[in-house]
Structure 1
Amino acid sequence: MAALICGSLAFDTIMRFEGRFGEHILPDQLHILNVSFLVPALRRDFGGCAGNIAYALKQLGGEPLPLAALGNDGDEYLQRMRDLGIATDHVHARSDTYTAQAMIMTDCDNNQITAFHPGAMMFAHELPVPQREDIRLAIVAPDGREAMIAHAQQLRERGVPFVFDPGQGLPMFDGAELARFIEQATWVTVNDYEGKMLCERTGWTLAEISRRVEALVVTLGAQGCEIWIDGQRSHVDAVVPDAVVDPTGCGDAWRGALLYGLERGWSLEACARLGNRLGAIKIAQRGPQNYQLAAEDLLSLNNG
């Protein structure tokens, strides 16, 4: 069975700043902000939420089915997915724009500043949710605004359970729109910051949101994650990584693990444990799609 992954495909330009952003930004001068950061380390990686989640799910042995748009520079990305065994049936390449581009700068405390050019992602709403019997569940991850709205509605109409993962796309929506997403979704995932923004915009507490879906998960980075079910909170501890190298894509790796577990009927706690462990493996590698799982890793993750 396939997991439909609605979201962006992007090229990530990842830069490493060896200092701390907070030491170079004066809080009382934000109205005239003009800062420059020296980034001696720079790399370009395959990224985007749909690509990262699909990569994680495929690494675990799942069957991701991305629904996403590439631009006229996307041939290399398309070939990479095919080489990885990721289906590209519903990845559309446009000739009139670039693939989405993310410029991500990380400081020594793993804080990040990101600039994002949407490119082909802004046309993703033209790609409908496919009518396929093998789609068991889905995720609506950050994408073009219209695409997220359309895909959530189409999944709801077709009775496909899905995860609503607003991520960095959350600021595009007002409270009423976010409430509509929650009412359509089966599960909701956010990080701590996004969770606070979601509560602020909808006027609902985390407990109230969790009563409107089967479960709400709030990832907390090095503190693990919270699972909210019917207003009740439980905590799943983080896994200590071998090294902290690059947090880019850790949340997407976590969500790939979530889809893997949900498709197999696991409890949310088991899904979260797998997500925390996969995130710890990812953070030890640079880039969102450069970690690999050996056979012993897969055995350990599935038995953990």
Structure 2
Amino acid sequence: MTILVCGSLAFDTIMDFEGRFADHILPDQLHILNVSFWVPALRREYGGCAGNIAYGLRQLGAAVRPVATLGADGQPYLERLQAMGVDVSALRVMPEHFTAQAMIMTDRDNNQITAFHPGAMALAHHNPIAETAGVSIAILSPDGKQATWTHAEQLHAAGVPFVFDPGQGLPMFDGAELRQLVEWADWAALNDYEARLLCDRTGLSLAALSQRLRALVVTLGEHGCDVWQDGQCTRVPGERASAIVDPTGCGDAFRAALLYGLAHGWGVEQAARLGNRMGAAKIATQGGQNYRFSL
């Protein structure tokens, strides 16, 4: 029972800023913004949404196959995935490009500023979903715009149920495109800001959107998540983390658990509870793929 994970593989350069961004940005001077942040702590991690979700699924013992692209510098990432037992048969190397790169800076309040270079991810639409036999479920995590659209069409045509998880890529789509992606999808997962943006772009409320899906899940950080089904909302309370160390990758940890539950026939609320637990485990550990979790 394989889970397909479409999305990005990236190298993350993560920096910790010991102050608050708000203390260094003057709201009335944004038109001439010129700031520099002193970041004494820096590390490089394996990341990207598809990579993080695949890592979380392997923590749960699931069979997972990422559909993604790597650049000429991606061999270490490929080897890491293989060492974790990930099926790498749907990965493609784009030798004339770098692997996607994310530069993430986090302040003391866990606010983040991110710069993202898509690299090989921008060509992910050249990596079609060629095999769906034995696939139980899929997720469309943030990817290139054309890749998201192409893979959604392919999954829908193949009859593979999937979670629409546009993340940071949501602003690339207009209202008509988003409504079509929702129609093709079986579930959607967004954070609260993305959910508001989706409503604004589509002109549909969360209740209305949920009536076009099996369920819509809106994550709320420490407060847990809202599960919308048939126009009705249920709050699934959050789990307390043992420590607040690093929020990077928490949303992907949640999605890994959500996918695991859905793939095993759980109700959405039960799967979301596991997602909250896994996200809390991740936030207590530094690094997007450096935590441990088991059922």
Q: TM-score normalized by structure 1? A: 0.96
Match of 2:94 in 1: 94
Match of 1:37 in 2: 37
1:173-217 deviation per Cα after TM superposition (whole angstroms, max 9, x unaligned):
111111111011000000011011111111111111100100000
Match of 2:147 in 1: 147
The residue correspondences of 1:265-276 to structure 2 (distance < 5 A) are 265-276=265-276
Q: Aligned with 1:120: secondary structure? A: helix
In 2, the alpha carbon distance for the partners of 1:97 and 1:205 equals: 40
What's the CA shift for 1:13? 0.3
Q: Aligned with 1:65: secondary structure? A: strand
What's the CA shift for 1:131? 2.4
In 1, the alpha carbon distance for the partners of 2:130 and 2:4 equals: 9
Matched AA of 2:23? E
Root mean square deviation, CA, Å: 0.7
Structure 1 portions without partners, runs of 5+: none
Q: Aligned with 1:11: secondary structure? A: strand
In 1, the alpha carbon distance for the partners of 2:66 and 2:23 equals: 40
Structure 2 portions without partners, runs of 5+: none
Match of 1:237 in 2: 237
2:132 touches 2:158 (CA, 8 Å); kept in 1?
Answer: no
2:16 touches 2:39 (CA, 8 Å); kept in 1?
Answer: yes
What's the CA shift for 1:130? 2.3
In 1, the alpha carbon distance for the partners of 2:2 and 2:290 equals: 23
Q: Is it true that 1:185 corresponds to 2:185 in the alignment?
A: yes
2:54 touches 2:64 (CA, 8 Å); kept in 1?
Answer: yes
In 2, the alpha carbon distance for the partners of 1:28 and 1:211 equals: 42
In 1, the alpha carbon distance for the partners of 2:84 and 2:151 equals: 25
Runs of 4+ displaced beyond 3 Å: none
Match of 2:125 in 1: 125
Q: TM-score normalized by structure 2? A: 0.99
Matched AA of 1:100? A
Q: Aligned with 1:97: secondary structure? A: coil
The residue correspondences of 1:1-304 to structure 2 (distance < 5 A) are 1-293=1-293, 298=294, 301=295
In 2, the alpha carbon distance for the partners of 1:224 and 1:21 equals: 25
Matched AA of 2:102? A
2:16 touches 2:41 (CA, 8 Å); kept in 1?
Answer: yes
